[in-house]
Structure 1
């Protein structure tokens, strides 16, 4: 099924079409090409073999069977999670995972989590004090988490977010960072689990500002400065136990032996499916591995604008209205049509999430009940719109992988909190 040559694109999508027809697929579906996924995983493993640990970015691959497949192929149990309900979902289904929060959560989210975890049965195998790292980005949040840990009588592992150049928040080397390290080292409720420095800006720095190479070197220097301050405050022995996380899908191939000793772990997610937002120079060796297949509901010859037959003929004559097209089952996705290659959204008829119209080339072989294929712009939002992922291998659908869902206990817990009695306005207005 793995076909890399551009000249084979037509054959590739006709093979996908046959696989979908054979499986009786009649609704829009996200297709995962397992052979292309394996190809991308192999390139990732080549980089990890330089000496780095690998953490899977779960938001970009939001399916438990998909994550489990990648975990087996890469030999990792490390996940990065960005959403409280999905943290619970992961713990329920992959309780052996080591989980790092990918963004700092409001302290009430941590409160929700511990209330939920405390309601689980004694068979729950996940131990937050050993397997979960909360991300802390400021002295204020650090204080909030310490107070919560003391209130709940739990010990929390915290990882400090450091600003290595993206300037989206986090600590920078200096007094505030040192104070945070010292506060954690003194706290009976907190323990330092590592650092996290995200650097998605690297590939977007223009040549005028030094380009990606200069940005990567500056990022590494900022990370190294934070590592040195950890060494100075806590000592080399503590530093060696920490998770020093960085990287991303567009930057992971840049890490080599020169980065060892500064970072120990690299996070990657979207690169394994390569949506169009990740069609960048550093991922030239990767292949797209995810496609939306949308069934063709209606083939239309000489399409017309409603109530305007003469205008429609004139627009077709000058090429502003196509001579033929099709209405799809669904539409309006964050995705670009890729097969048939000349399929284009008709701007005159607009967007539709129900039956979107696409113009087709005059020589197309596309028929009713065939599929128009789209390549997603990103994976994290698109995969969640499809309840089951159709896994294709060797020209057939070999499996169906469900996407993430919200745990049943999560909305129940929110409802229980909402029902707690609240002080009325008259009580709040009474003087002391």
Structure 2
């Protein structure tokens, strides 16, 4: 099953399903059969001996995460944003959460201030790992934990070739391990090495195969330091995380890495159209109505020039104004559609060139593939889940705290409703 070459009939049928469900504005659709297919591909790799951690930012919906957790047998999540971390633990309190990026110590304070006001089932001392990328940050976390009499689990970010930060110098890494060894408030819970660069390395300088080998050699160097300073027993119990949506299929055994993380691969936006995911299928689409079907569109106050541009092929014979637009996405239906340069970008009614003979009409749905999922999924309100050609249910996306709540008062820059459609304005 491979749906990378999706035909027009697929989108026409999906459009009919959306109309049948009464949908009439931009909506994010997930095809459940394709999602299941991609999960099955992931499970084949997990079954090689890995634990699996879902990257929650890429699939920001509690029901969606719960569905994948059930299908893959994991309760491990990765979070990148403190308000969304709080949203996660409120709704999935049994989760084991690893922070996906190092946070300012002020964010750590913010989280524990909230947690003291909202005690629940979630136990940060055993269910939350803070990612730390430097000795200086580790010292800040230590001072905070000591001053507040807290126990923090620390996962150390290591640079294994991406060069986006993390520990690179082994001497500094050794100092960090010794600080963790001697601390009464911090404990080492694992390592994280991200290697998203691998599939992008050109063959001229070794290609993906060499990049993967070097990344694993670097990861092993760090684990040897752990073994040397903290002992074999400590190493055996650590969360040794790596992988990403473009690289997870490369992992063959768990002799070094014991946990892989991925999420975008399960819906395959266009940024993930890479050779390692050829066996995955695009599963997420933006659907939006065609508002106006325009024959021979004219530039403002320049109908003569417009006619000349059409004659030489620089202006379309037909175009459509859609409901909304300006998303991180590329049109996939009608085939060959592209954004028109006549009027520039619009988040309200964007203009797209379409083939003059295509059967799409006003009020039919035009379809786009998102280029990524983490930001785009938050722009359309509830996700429409399509199962066997019918809209089966709607899955809400992550929400910030309700206006007026104690947390919202401390997060005013973020309190706007991100679920509103980008078509507004």
TM-score norm. by structure 2 comes to: 0.94
Matching of residue 177 in structure 1 with residue 173 in structure 2? yes
Aligned-residue offset at 1:10 = 1.2
Cα deviation code 1:375-421 (max 9, x no counterpart): 01111110011111110011110010111111238973474699xxx
Displacement of 1:44 in angstroms is 0.3
User: Structure 1 stretches of 5 or more lacking a match?
Assistant: 419-432
> Corresponding residue for 2:321?
327
CA deviation vs aligned residue, 1:11-41 (integer Å, no higher than 9, x gap): 1111101110001111100110110000000
Using a 3 Å threshold, how does the CA distance of structure 1 residues 128 and 409 change in structure 2: closer, same or farther? farther
Please say if residues 2 and 280 of structure 2, whose CA atoms lie closer than 8 Å, have aligned partners that are also in contact: no
Residues 357-368 of structure 1 aligned to structure 2 (within 5 Å): 357-368=351-362
- Which of 42, 57, 61 does residue 63 from structure 1 map onto? 61
Name the structure 1 match of 2:416.
Answer: none
Q: CA RMSD in A?
A: 1.6
Contact 2:291 2:363 in 1 (8 A): yes
Segments of 4+ in structure 1 off by > 3 A?
3-8, 408-418
Say if 2:23 is the partner of 1:29. Answer: no
Compute the displacement of 1:209 (Å). 1.2
**Is residue 2:207 matched to residue 1:211?**
yes
CA distance in 2, matches of 1:271, 1:357: 30
Equivalent residue of 2:9, what SS?
A: helix
Q: Which residue of 1 aligns with 2:182?
A: 186
CA distance in 1, matches of 2:216, 2:148: 37
Matches within 5 A, 1:336-355: 336-355=330-349
Contact 1:116 1:409 survives alignment (8 Å): no
Q: Which moved more, 1:9-18 or 1:307-316?
A: 307-316
Q: 1:33-70, CA deviations, whole angstroms, 9 ceiling, x for partnerless residues?
A: 11000000000000010000000001111111110110
Query: Which residue of the partner structure matches residue 147 of structure 1?
Result: 143
Distance change >3 Å, CA 6–CA 169, structure 1 → 2: closer
How far residue 160 of structure 1 moved from its aligned partner, in angstroms, is 0.4
C-alpha contact 2:402 2:408 (8 A) present in aligned 1 = no
| Cα distance in 1 between the residues matched to 2:271 and 2:290 | 26
SS of the counterpart of 1:408?
Answer: coil
Q: Unpaired segments of 5 or more residues in structure 2?
A: 413-425
Q: Which has the larger radius of gyration?
A: 1
SS, match of residue 170 in structure 1: coil
